[in-house]
Amino acid sequence: MTITETQLHRYSRQVVMPEIDEDGQQALLSSRVTILGAGGLGSPVIANLAAAGVGKLIICDDDRVDLSNLNRQFIYQEVNVGQPKTQAAKQFIQGINSDVTIELRYETMSEESLTEILSRCDILLDCSDQFSTRIAGAKAAFINGIPHIFGGAVRFDGQMASFMAGVEGYEDSACFACLFSEDAGVRQAPNCAQAGILAPVTSLIGTLQALETIKWITKAGTLNSNRLLLFDGLSGSFTSIQTSKKDKCSICSN
Ligand SMILES: [Zn+2]
């Protein structure tokens, strides 16, 4: 793929950085990214990656835009209320970048459907709010050997990690289930409707997920692998804790 003059102008503020350069921009334009969930985390992810020139975005969401989403899901407008989020997200992307090819999956995702989608993708962004969907995504990413960029947010708290289990060169890395096992009571974690959520927290975590994605595709810097980043919005502090592969993990142990 050759970058056009118009593209060089559009992406000039990122191409100018040696960590990105024209090669990195070409990689972005050739990349295929799956976004699992187009809500509070998915919205900043979609905005950042579409603007950066990711070539193909596959957006998976089974929900419709609700008025209560608009306090934080900035890619949607009042006119989108009632529409499938996938369709409204497509309208948003088309408005800011015609370089981006869009595939929509307006359905509840299973391990099988995600495994097929990820077989033709470079990276998975987990922006889901359902534990079972996260597990399905983690399995599908592991099977396909691609990074699983996880984000979570509730109330004033956020977390983010790049799970690299199954990715070539990251043999010792943990997967999602190494940290959040199905029997650890995570299923009972409060959701945003019950506990509340604030836009700056979802925006921050989703933006960090997008940054990890751009770094992976352009090979700039290092990923937040083997670490779980925790953000406490009430004190404005970040904590980073070491993660490790579990001996008997339901996903990544052979
Ligand atoms: Zn694991």
Q: Backbone dihedral region of 248: left (phi > 0), alpha (psi from -120 to 50 degrees) or beta?
A: beta
Query: 82 alpha carbon to ligand 1 midpoint, in Å?
Result: 38
Residues with CB under 5 A from ligand 1 (ion): 175, 177-178, 249, 251-252
For residue 32, the SS3 value is strand
Distance from Cα 131 to the centre of ligand 1, integer Å: 15
Average pLDDT, the chain: 95
Q: How far is the CA of 225 from the centre of ligand 1 (A)?
A: 13
**Choosing from 127, 192, 249, 252, which is the catalytic residue?**
192
Cα 70 from Cα 74, distance rounded (Å): 6
Q: What mean pLDDT comes out for the span 212-226?
A: 96
Distance (angstroms) between ligand 1 centre and the Cα of 213 equals: 21
Measured in whole angstroms, the distance separating CA 45 from the mean position of its chain's CA atoms is 6
- Per-residue HEC secondary structure of 184-234 comes to CCHHHCCCHHHHCECHHHHHHHHHHHHHHHHHHHHCCCCCCECEEEEEECC
Tokens of 184: 């650890």
- Select the more confidently predicted residue: 95 or 191: 95
CA of 140 relative to ligand 1 center, distance in Å:
12
List, for residues 30-73, the tens digit of each pLDDT value. Answer: 999 999 999 999 999 999 999 999 999 999 999 999 999 999 99
Q: Ligand 1 mean position to 11 CA, how many Å?
A: 37
Q: Residue ranges per domain, the chain?
A: 31-242
Q: Ligand 1 mean position to 196 CA, how many Å?
A: 29
For domain 31-242, the CATH class is alpha beta
Q: What is the CA(100)–ligand 1 centre distance, in A?
A: 33
* pLDDT (0 to 100) of residue 190: 73
Q: At what angle do helices 85-96 and 42-52 cross, to 10 degrees?
A: 30
Tokens 């999956």 — which residue? Answer: 105
Q: Measuring CA to CA, which residue among 149, 139, 135 is closest to residue 252?
A: 139
Q: Note the pTM of the prediction, 2 decimals.
A: 0.96
Residue 185: per-residue pLDDT: 54
Mean pLDDT of 100-110: 97
Query: Contact 233/239 with Cβ under 8 angstroms?
Result: no
Q: What percent of the chain has pLDDT over 90?
A: 92
Is 175 a catalytic site residue?
no
The model's pLDDT over 141-197, given as tens digits with 9 standing for 90+, comes to 999 999 999 999 999 999 999 999 999 999 899 999 999 977 655 555 677 888 899
- Residue 184: its pLDDT value, please? 59
Name the residue among 134, 128, 116, 123 with its Cα closest to residue 202.
128
Q: How far is the CA of 114 from the centre of ligand 1 (A)?
A: 18
pLDDT of residue 10: 98
